[in-house]
Copies of this chain bind each other. A is one copy, B any other.
């Protein structure tokens, strides 16, 4: 096991009917900005639940956060915060809304050009407005971590930052809020949380037994409940298990003391930035290709994943590993997320553009060994055609 530090001070309030706990978690004299996305929360009753729970508090709203939240949209929210003297941000939505809220929270306290927050990967954050979340989509884990991804539309840059300042003070997770999601978002959320676990698990063994078993427990849960969420969208326990699994998938716990990969995410981000694919679509395309390319290095953990999670019975590690790759691809497809660039109308023509963006962002030593160069990414993407 590697040395590590673990710290996570976000309070989780989980379960049906918990949105009414909002009133106890936000200071009585706060001026709250409710931040949300395309407006579905106004149709499915969640906005009304939130407003009822805020009764007696001063609040304003800011809607229109995009699925990959735009830097410029966030800056408009910062303007409104200053006009309205907002001092508490309440994100109501999925990972994009929460990510945007994190950037807005930091930008509202930032002196100088806020793009420095992104360029410094969060190091330049000087403080942040306090954040609470009402989660409506099980996927990114943003509700219990210090990370956010923001997209700059003019330059097609999709980039992340980390800062303890933007950890949510609390997140309310009511599985019922996910009942009305379209199948595409359910599938994307399942693939996203599943790949989060895999990025922190399919590397090389360091004999970290608790972390491995927690990762395997999350994978097994998502594998069982993901397809059921498509068939039984209003099954409470299915939604609850997926929601808690997605949160635990990226809150720092299973990452503690083990190596991590993240090549799939970093390559995938460039595809979304340039070509607009859903985040989960890019993961489903890239991960099987990364694994195929790196099967020798990853075979021990791939085989362990295959045997412990997927029920693959193969004595040989390499054979088990290869079967695990095939089975993972099948799972993504079963969740309605296609796994080839061609499925999205993309060809080998895109590869130089992806490489150029990775180089521009200095993501030139990817993977758990830092040995995936731009030339390797080119070969990986050819495996994903």
- Name A residues whose Cβ lies closer than 8 Å to a Cβ of B: 1-18, 207-214, 216-218, 220-221, 224-225, 237, 240-241, 244-245, 248, 256-257
Contact = CB atoms under 8 A, between A and B. Distances in A.
B210 A244 contact: yes
A132 to B, nearest CB: 13
B9 A4 contact: no
A320 to B, nearest CB: 20
A216 B220 CA distance: 13
A224 B244 contact: no
Nearest to A256: B14
A248 B8 CA distance: 14
B1 A244 contact: yes
Nearest to A235: B207
Contacts of A2: 15
Contact of A210 (B13, B211, B218): B218
A81 B290 CA distance: 58
Given A8-B8, A11-B7, A14-B257, A1 B210 contact: no
Nearest to A224: B209
Given A217-B214, A241-B209, A6 B16 contact: no
Contacts of A4: 12, 14-15
Contacts of A16: 3
A207 B242 CA distance: 12
B217 A15 contact: no
Nearest to A16: B3
Contact of A11 (B6, B216, B244): B6
Contacts of A213: 213-214, 216-218, 220-221
A63 to B, nearest CB: 29
A210 B248 contact: yes
A51 to B, nearest CB: 22
Contacts of A13: 5
A218 B253 CA distance: 14
A241 B210 contact: yes
Contacts of A256: 12, 14
A209 B216 CA distance: 12
A8 B220 CA distance: 25
A56 B1 CA distance: 32
Contact of A1 (B6, B15, B211): B15
Nearest to A206: B237
Contacts of A6: 11-12, 14
Contacts of A211: 244
A56 B127 CA distance: 30
Contacts of A220: 209, 213
**8 interchain residue pairs of minimum CB distance:** A213-B217, A3-B15, A9-B9, A7-B11, A209-B221, A207-B237, A6-B12, A1-B240
Nearest to A2: B15
A204 to B, nearest CB: 14
A14 B3 contact: yes
